[in-house]
Structure 1
Amino acid sequence: MPIGDGGLAALLGLSGEEETSESGLEGIPSPAFWLCRGEEVVAAAGFRSWRRSVARLSVLVAPPCRGNRLARVVASAAVAHALDAGLLPQWRARPYPSQRVAVALGFQELGAQLSVRLADVPVDRGC
């Protein structure tokens, strides 16, 4: 499904800003794969293509629905789509529950990622 769907927006809102940011699901260019309970989207996954070779996965499950293996279902659909597109799936799993899902799907830890945010420094245009 397209990422702009209202059900997916509701999931993002329900999960809160910090978890939505950590998931990376907001604004993904890939299709979103999701599960619904009635009309409510309770789990979703997708990815961003990086350097046309890597698919950085994004997964989110509604807080009251966690622990029911829903992340595995939607993530496996996103992984299959990435593989079909010739991309290498990558899972950045920082929180422990995310790490458990990644391991359950066969991902292996191969290293660490360091992110550095540089302060905005005014550029001196006069010389």
Structure 2
Amino acid sequence: MFSLAVAQNEAKAQYSLGVMYYLGKGVKQDYIKAFNYFQLAAEQGEITSQYILGMMFYQDEGIEQSYDKAMHYYYLATEQRNADAQYQLGLIYHNGIDTAQDFAQAIKYYQLAADQGCSDALTNLGLIYSDGLGVKQDYN
């Protein structure tokens, strides 16, 4: 059933098959096949596939690690208001992972994620302000 939908270029089916291969649900786990299905779906704007590709590149899961490619997919997902991708970009800028540490950018992406209910982003915003990292220290 999924195969027919994938053949018809259905992004949700491509995403679903990607998840099946990524997790090994009903099929043998295969990160390469998962990556290929996620990439097909991401090219059509499927937001969760974009985020997962970012994670796969970031964490070196079945594909060669590339922070540049991870950030590319996080940016795509962020443009569609994916809070997880926004939080990840906040972390990257906060910690200066393969990019210059930039607290203003970290605050921007943490705030976007926090506005959507991401508690980890809210926690990190609080830490940035309480420590005065790139901003005036503020305990309120």
TM-score (norm. length: structure 2): 0.31
> Comparing both structures, which one devotes a greater share of its residues to strand?
1
Q: Highest relative contact order (Cα 8 Å, sep 6+), 1 or 2?
A: 1
TM-score (norm. length: structure 1): 0.33
> Comparing both structures, which one devotes a greater share of its residues to helix?
2
